[in-house]
Structure formats: C-alpha cells, structure tokens
Structure 1
Amino acid sequence: MTQTARQLRSTHRQANLLAQEAWMAKEKGQFDRSLDLYQKAYQLEKEVAQGYLELLDAEPTRSIILRSAAVLAKECGELREAEKWLSHALSGNPSEEIAAELRVLFKEINKKHRKATGTVKVEKGILRVVEGILGMVDSTKHRIGVDAADGRVRIQVPQEANDMVLKFIDNPVKVTYQVEGRRKWLKQIQKAG
C-alpha cells in the first residue's frame, strides 16, 4: 500500500467518525451542529473520492467511497454534487450488487432534487430549506424575502447578518432556516446552483 493510499484510508476513517457524530447530533435535535459536522465530513470524504476517481480497477473500494461522498453531499443539501458522485461511481466497474444500491440512491436523490428546486422542504422537525430568488431585504425590520415557487417566504435575519445578505439580493439563493413558533430564523444563506 502506498503512502497516498494510507492517507486516503485515514482521511476516510476521519470522515466516517465525523459522519457518525453528525448523525448522533441530528438524532438529539442539534441540527446546526449536525449540519456543521456533516459539512466537515463531506469535505474530507470529497478529498478521498477525488483520489479514487481515476482508479477504475480499485473496486469495490472506489464505488463505496464515491457512494459515501454522495450520501454526505446529500446530508449537506448538495444534491447536484451527490448525483455527480453517483454518476462517477456507476461509470466505473462496480459489482451488480453495489451498482443496484447506487441506482436506488441516485433515484432517491434525483427525486429529492426535483422536489427541492423552487420549493420549501422540511428536513426534520424545525429545520427547513428554501430555494428561490432573494427578492427582498428589509434592514430596518431585519427580514429577507425569498421568492420560491410557492410564494414569498419571509425569514428573520440576525442584526449582525444584515449587511451580509445584501450581496445576494435579486439572485438565486438556498436558505436554511429554523422555525421557532411563528418565526423563521436565518441559519445559512448561499448562492443556489
């Protein structure tokens, strides 16, 4: 085993440990912490997956690593990236059993991706994601309005984030927010696409 292969396996183990921690945090209702841990795990697994992309003869490890990257991308809400990892995995030489699993996962992610585009989707309990155009920023009331397919979603913005959201005005965005009673609080905003 080369040093590079050892490093990839070590990084893969680190990603798995973070993913397990993220899953436990999600089960406890610690959604912000869970998302943060999933994102860290995905960044590590992404490095590993990129190392295996060209290693078509490294089956079944290659397919398993790429599937893992797809699952972590899905947990981070990066559905398009998840689809890409699965496509790469299927373009190699996975066993029929693994290929069948990859196809099932691809269909699930593809279905979720179609639903997510321009609509509100409930992740678990009180954490939600909306994609649309950031059509309104009200700095005095600390609110934004995301124009989605189902209408405008108004979200409260922490005062210190007012200036940050202005750069997204009139652009497609993906917004993660938390519902507390009747209020929706901004957790994350990023460019959609």
Structure 2
Amino acid sequence: MTTTARQLRSVHRQSAIFAQEAWLAKDNGQQDRSLELYRKAYALEKEVASAYVDLKDMEPTRSIILKSAAVLAKECGLFREAEQWLSHALAGNPPDEVAKELRTLFKSISKKQVKKATKAKPNSNVLTVVEGVFSMVDTVKHRIGVDAPEGRVKIEVPFDVNEIVKKYFDNQVKVTYQIQGRRKWLKQIQKAG
C-alpha cells in the first residue's frame, strides 16, 4: 500500500467520524451543528473521492467512496454535486448491488431537487388546496397524508375527524388546509373530480 493510499484511508476515516457526529447532532435536533459537521465531512470525503474518480479498476472501493461523497453532498444541500458524484460512480463498473443503491440515491436526490424548486413560502392566512391520492391515516398522531405530484403532504386533523376521513382512503381527493406555524390543519376534504 502506498503512502497516498494510507493518507486517503485516514482522511476517509476522519470524514466518517464527522459524518457520524453530524447524524447524532441531527438526531438530537441540533440542525446548525449537524450541517457544520456534514460540511466538514464532505470537504474531507470530496478530497478522497476526487482521487478515486479516474481509478475505474479499483471497484468496489471506488464506487463506495463516490457514493459516500454523494450522500454527504446531499446532506449539505448540494444536490447537483451529489448527482455528479453518482454519475461518476455509475460511469465506472460498480458491482450490481452498489449500482442499484447508486440509482436509488440518484432518484431520491432528483425528487428533492424538484420539490425544492417548487416549494413556495407558505402564508398562514391563506387556505391551500392540494389534490392527490389519500394514502395515509395516522390515528396516533392525528394526521393524514395526501400523495400529490410534488410529494406527500401531511396534514393534521382534529381528534374526532379520524373516522370521518378514513372513508376517503385510497381515493383521489381535494384537501383544503391552513398553515399555522409549522403545521398544516385540515379545513375540508372531498373526493376529487
């Protein structure tokens, strides 16, 4: 093993430590700290991934390192960079299982980009209407979910409404809701069409 390979392995391990700390911070609700740690992890992993981009005979290590860089870029909100790392990884010869993971990750990042691009700042005084398939009822958290073209919208419902909204399950619905703080509250639900 060359000194360069040892150095890259060391940098990769340090990146993994920062990433684990970032995940723990995120899990504990420390969003700013988490992002700071993810950025540190990504800066290190980017260095390692750059060294592996052209080493197509180093599979599966190459594709795993590039995937790691993509995941960290995604956590930093750098979706385009994440897609680029995934493209590089898929352009090599990753094992089938890793290639499948790379494609799945690529799709999830693409969805996040579309969702981010279409997301508007909500106005809490305005009623909002969403149409989609009524696909989720959470009787514990008193929430429903509507799968709209832009993604699932979760809406809070009053305690006594759960039984009423269940009759719309698995149907196309038109839901009107109002935003209050970080929550969306059901105002009306009806079958679409």
| TM-score band w.r.t. shorter chain | 0.5 to 0.7
**Per-residue deviation at 1:117?**
1.7
Q: In structure 2, what is the Cα distance between the partners aligned to 1:88 and 1:120?
A: 32
Listed one character per residue, the Cα deviations across residues 13-35 of structure 1 (whole Å, up to 9, x for unaligned) are 00000000000000111110000
Identity within the alignment, %: 69
List runs of 5+ in structure 2 lacking aligned partners. 122-180, 183-193
Q: Give the TM-score taking structure 1 as reference length.
A: 0.62
Larger radius of gyration: 2
Residue 56 in structure 1 maps to residue 56 in structure 2: yes
* Structure 1 stretches of at least 4 aligned residues deviating more than 4 Å after TM superposition: none
1:83 Cα deviation from its structure 2 partner:
0.4
SS at match of 1:10: helix
How high is the TM-score relative to the length of structure 2? Answer: 0.62
In structure 2, the partner of 1:81 is 81
Alignment of 1:74-113 (within 5 A): 74-113=74-113
Pair 1:90–1:23, CA change in 2 (3 A): same
Residue matched to 1:34: 34
Partner of 1:21: 21
Alignment gaps of 5+ in structure 1: 122-180, 183-193
CA distance in 2, matches of 1:76, 1:42: 8
> Match of 1:188?
none
Q: Give distance in 2, aligned partners of 1:118 and 1:5.
A: 43
- CA shift, 1:119, in A, is 2.1
Q: State the SS of the aligned residue for 1:77.
A: coil
Amino acid corresponding to residue 25 of structure 1 in structure 2: A
Amino acid at match of 1:79: F
Q: Which amino acid aligns with 1:109?
A: I
In 2: Cα distance, 1:13 partner to 1:26 partner = 20
The aligned counterpart of 2:67 is: 67
3-state SS, counterpart of residue 62 of structure 1? helix
SS of the residue 1:117 aligns to: helix
Please list, as runs of the form range in 1=range in 2, the aligned pairs for 1:163-174 lying within 5 A after superposition.
Answer: none
**Aligned AA for 1:42?**
Y
Name the aligned partner's letter for residue 108 of structure 1. Answer: S
Output the CA distance in 1 between the equivalents of 2:92 and 2:117.
29
Q: CA deviation at 1:115?
A: 1.1
CA offset digits 1:154-189 (Å, max 9, x no partner): xxxxxxxxxxxxxxxxxxxxxxxxxxx69xxxxxxx
**Separation in 2, partners of 1:46, 1:93:** 20
**1 CA distance for matches of 2:65 and 2:90?**
12
